[in-house]
Amino acid sequence: MFNPPNAKQFFETVWDIVRQIPEGKVSTYGQIASMIPPDKYTDPDQMKRLAPRWVGTAMRKTPKGQGIPWQRVINSQGKISFPAGSAQAEEQERLLNMEDVMFTKAGKVDFEVVGWEGPSYEYLESNDLLPPRELT
DNA sequence: CGTTTGACTACGC
DNA sequence: CGCGTAGCCAAAC
């Protein structure tokens, strides 16, 4: 289950990780989820199945005006997760283009070029997080 | 309080 | 590649 107190901590953790993504790089819901210990906030089994969705939920609730680079989080396919053509999708693409993250005609980024390798070891260590899975 | 919505992913064709 | 589907459930309405 995802008790409210834990949910808040989970969201805070996600936002904090997002803050670590440098300009010009992108991460994914799944990659961020992979950094959070499965048993830290809820049942490990559920975490394993649902963590990426919960990261998506956290992103939807991202506080505005706090400098969280929300635009740097996309889906595992390398695409923006808002409906193509929506105002939100256009805004996200615009912000990413501004930091030289470009999309192919098919609307995908090249993880080889702009994929984030994860936070520093020191950050992971001091925040009790796991090394992220790699983006391919 | 019941129903709908949603910033996911893996997998099959 | 693209498109559809199952699995899944907290938040929002």
Q: What's the pLDDT score for residue A30?
A: 96
Average pLDDT over residues A128-134: 95
Q: What is the pTM of this model?
A: 0.95
What is the CB neighbour count within 10 angstroms for residue A61? 12
pLDDT in tens, A81-103: 999 999 999 999 999 999 999 99
Residues within 7 Å (Cβ) of strand B: A 28-31, 52-53, 55-57, 59-60, 62, 70-71, 73, 75-77, 81-82, 88, 92
Query: Does the pLDDT of residue A1 top 80, yes or no?
Result: no
Q: Nearest nucleotide (C1') to the CA of residue A88? A: B7
Going from the N-terminus, what domains does chain A have, and what CATH number goes with each?
7-126 (1.10.10.10)
Positions of chain B reached by protein Cβ under 7 A: 6-10
Q: What's the pLDDT score for residue A6?
A: 86
pLDDT in tens, A107-127: 999 999 999 999 999 999 999
Q: Nearest nucleotide (C1') to the CA of residue A58? A: B7
